[in-house]
Structure 1
Amino acid sequence: MILEVAILHIKKGLTPSFETAFKEASAIISSMKGYINHELQVCIEDDHKYILLVRWEHLEDHTIGFRGSPEYQEWKKLLHHFYDPFPTVEHYTVI
């Protein structure tokens, strides 16, 4: 299993719209091959900062399967305009 981790900084004043769009985007990612589960958490100290955790069966399910899919284009359209700066995405595995 692979854990995808992204820290999301949302533009000021857009958090309600982001959360609504993320609910729609959740249906997209959860339908993808290799997807296990995901969670979105908001930072207590900064309510414009979120952490996205997505569990995938294999790294390629995210990096090739999801990112190379037409569904990812819809994900981008729904979410990418909320970020400033654009998030760095990292992948982790259990030791």
Structure 2
Amino acid sequence: MITEHALLDVLPGSSEEFEWAFGEARELISASPGFRGLELLRGLETPSRYLLLVRWETLEDHTIGFRQGPSYERWSSLLHRFYSPFPVVSHFESALSTSSSVV
């Protein structure tokens, strides 16, 4: 499994509109082959900064299947206007994993 990481700096004052648009865009990405889940986290120190984590079965599911697929144009039109600067996207695979259990 691959995790896509994107740090999204959203234009100040547009966080509410961005989150609404992301709710719509989420339907597009979640319908993509190889999509396994996502998390959108908002920064505490900088509320207009978000961390997007998307889990894909393979790297190509994201870079080819989604980015070159029919839904990406709509995804772009919904979200890309909110970013400044445009985010750098990186991909990661698991090197070590732990979890804690609460008793």
TM-score (norm 1): 0.99
Other-structure match for 2:82: 82
Quote the Cα distance in structure 2 between the aligned partners of 1:18 and 1:94: 30
Other-structure match for 1:28: 28
Unaligned runs of 5+ in 2: 96-103
Quote the Cα distance in structure 2 between the aligned partners of 1:13 and 1:94: 35
Other-structure match for 1:19: 19
Moved over 3 A (4+): none
Q: Greater Rg, structure 1 or structure 2?
A: 2
Quote the Cα distance in structure 2 between the aligned partners of 1:92 and 1:16: 29
Quote the Cα distance in structure 2 between the aligned partners of 1:39 and 1:20: 15
Equivalenced residues, count? 95
1:30-86 Cα offsets, whole Å, 9 max, x none, are 000000000100000000000000000000000000000120000000000000000
**In the alignment, residue 17 of structure 2 is paired with which amino acid?**
S
**In the alignment, residue 91 of structure 1 is paired with which amino acid?**
H
| CA RMSD across the alignment | 0.4
Quote the Cα distance in structure 2 between the aligned partners of 1:70 and 1:62: 13
Quote the Cα distance in structure 1 between the aligned partners of 2:73 and 2:23: 16
Quote the Cα distance in structure 2 between the aligned partners of 1:47 and 1:3: 23
**In the alignment, residue 46 of structure 2 is paired with which amino acid?**
D
> What SS does the aligned partner of 1:70 have?
coil
Other-structure match for 1:64: 64
